[in-house]
A = this chain, B = another copy of it.
């Protein structure tokens, strides 16, 4: 493990972070240091590809109840750490826990994606209940506390939430979608209602993530899975601006907590995002050319990504070559190795082990 010198972010926290950066390479990289071998974790590193996950999940048929059970959620958060000792653990939960906690109807049926009551009226918006969210979301914080207490000293803990646009898109559309036509119909056609929903979600997300930081999360990640459906003007309004508001509020309350933003399929808008969203790191999706991102995004932002999860399914030469491509593109930038999207269920766990060995062998 080598720690680059003089590559830290100039935000005044370097001195205060010193004790931590020496023991947690993931946080050092988020702080702007060039760490090689690169710190590594995998989106959805806890999940259906692991037999120990499936064994526990079989005991809890309801997915939201599983997420809100601290004993089970802490256990599955820790499973990939025991197996692979990745450099970070990420809270096991779902981005739709927050709208569910706010009182919006959300269900998960086996074999289908999530289903939500489509939000189309001011009355539905007015029913969202921040006090209820604090109570219903409390088990999430207990999970964070349990995981933090159980983690090895060099492994950091990431909390997360869906970004307001992605959560709003699910709430209005009612389900996943290729173009989110209903969500965008409301966004364009009733901007006051959509903006009010977004504003509500910004405040709820700040409270939700702040509680995770209080409970022990050392980094927080915002997943904007559907950012790629937006035009540049709407991307600015509904992705960059709300993320910057959340980042400013969280930084004010938790100056040492690092933020990672993941605006999936943002393409050329990644530059404006990296410059304006106030995050410490930008997660790159599979389609982003890492060498382009390394050259085009501001140097004071750490990059994370972005191996194709389907290369991880394939293994062998394809996995080695694709991984090498990402590693070579890192150059001397602060970088955290990850996938470009989550681990998929059909991934052989031994391919994950081979990937980690390759990344850790790279100097």
Contacts and interface: CB of A to CB of B under 8 A. Distances in A.
Copies in the complex: 2
A296 B188 CA distance: 29
A235 interface: yes
A293 B268 contact: yes
Given A230-B287, A287-B228, A181 B310 contact: yes
A307 B290 CA distance: 27
A296 to B, nearest CB: 7
Contacts of A229: 286-287
A233 B191 contact: no
Contacts of A267: 265-268, 270, 287-289
Given A232-B289, A322-B233, A184 B310 contact: yes
A179 B310 contact: yes
Contacts of A292: 232, 268-269, 271
Nearest to A319: B188
B235 A318 contact: no
Interface string A178-193: 1101001100110100
Contacts of A296: 268
Give the interface SS of chain A, mostly helix, strand, loop or mixed: helix
Given A231-B287, A235-B287, A314-B189, A308 B268 contact: no
Given A228-B287, A232-B287, A268-B293, 19 more contacts: A181-B313, A184-B313, A185-B310, A188-B311, A188-B322, A189-B316, A191-B318, A229-B286, A230-B286, A230-B308, A231-B306, A231-B307, A231-B308, A231-B322, A232-B292, A234-B308, A266-B287, A268-B270, A269-B292
